[in-house]
């Protein structure tokens, strides 16, 4: 493990960098709330016609391709994922921490796999349970302060390729099972 090094996530990632402003005057938004994604599976995206409907106050965070969205409330419920495809005028809840990596150092998919590991989720949930709010929650700084061992970018990419193939097979099997059940 000579090629591995310890990094503080806040040194190789940016969190919550871009927000929607009403000054942008979008006619509509496609909105992802924290309860609508679990283990990188989006159940639904809410279409909101801003001209006729009120935009939820939490509908503010912008994402881009490879942004990781990680719910700050009850991490053990696993409301997180990595954004690959998204519709126009897409925003997510401020209940997420949006994490963007420095791709020269840390592959976003690799970080997503790390952040979704049960031991790390449990660690973040333990931090959440110590919060002073009415419910278990973490802050962006709790994620930024995580120190993780990472290999060089080439090894990260190889690991991501293998895990990505396994994820694709799992997704395919779920779709087959859903079709059989229907």
> Using CA of residue 38, residue 43, residue 49, residue 54, what is the dihedral sign?
negative
Q: In which band, very low, low, confident or very high, does the pLDDT at 134 lie, cut at 50, 70 and 90?
A: confident
Is pLDDT at 159 greater than 80 in this prediction?
A: yes
Structural domain including 107 reads 5-181
Average pLDDT of 131-154?
93
Decide: 64 and 91 in contact? Cβ < 8 Å.
no
Predicted confidence at residue 113, as pLDDT, reads 97
- Position 128 pLDDT exceeds 80: yes
Q: What is the CATH number of the domain that holds 98?
A: 3.90.220.20
Domain count, the chain: 1
At 32-61, the pLDDT tens digits run 999 999 999 999 999 999 999 999 999 999
* H or E segment and range at residue 100: strand 96-101
Torsion, Cα 170 172 178 182, to 10 degrees, reads -160
- How far is residue 79's CA from residue 176's CA, in Å, rounded to a whole number? 24
Nearest to 81 by CA among 119, 45, 41: 41
Q: What is the DSSP letter of 17?
A: -
Q: How many CB atoms lie within 10 A of CB 57?
A: 8
Q: What number is the average pLDDT over the span 5-27? A: 96
| 1 pLDDT more than 60 | no
Instruction: List the Cα angle 12/16/20 in 5-degree steps.
Output: 145
What does pTM read for this prediction? 0.92
Return the higher-pLDDT residue of 33 and 171: 33
């Amino acid at each position: 493990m000579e090629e591995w090094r310890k990094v503080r996530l806040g040194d190789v990632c940016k969190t919550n960098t871009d927000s929607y402003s009403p000054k942008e005057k979008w006619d509509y938004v496609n909105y992802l709330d924290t309860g609508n994604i679990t283990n990188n599976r989006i159940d639904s995206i809410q279409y909101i016609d801003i001209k006729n409907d009120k935009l939820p106050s939490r509908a503010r965070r912008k994402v881009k391709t490879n942004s990781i969205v990680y719910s700050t409330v009850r991490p053990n419920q696993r409301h997180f994922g990595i954004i690959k495809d998204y519709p126009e005028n897409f925003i997510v809840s401020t209940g997420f921490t949006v994490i963007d990596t420095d791709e020269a150092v840390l592959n976003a998919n690799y970080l997503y796999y790390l952040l979704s590991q049960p031991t790390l989720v449990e660690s973040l949930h333990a931090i959440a349970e110590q919060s002073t709010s009415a419910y278990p929650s973490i802050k962006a700084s709790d994620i930024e302060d995580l120190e993780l061992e990472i290999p060089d970018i080439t090894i990260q990419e190889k690991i991501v390729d293998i895990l990505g193939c396994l994820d694709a097979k799992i997704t395919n099997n779920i779709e087959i099972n859903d079709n059989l059940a229907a």
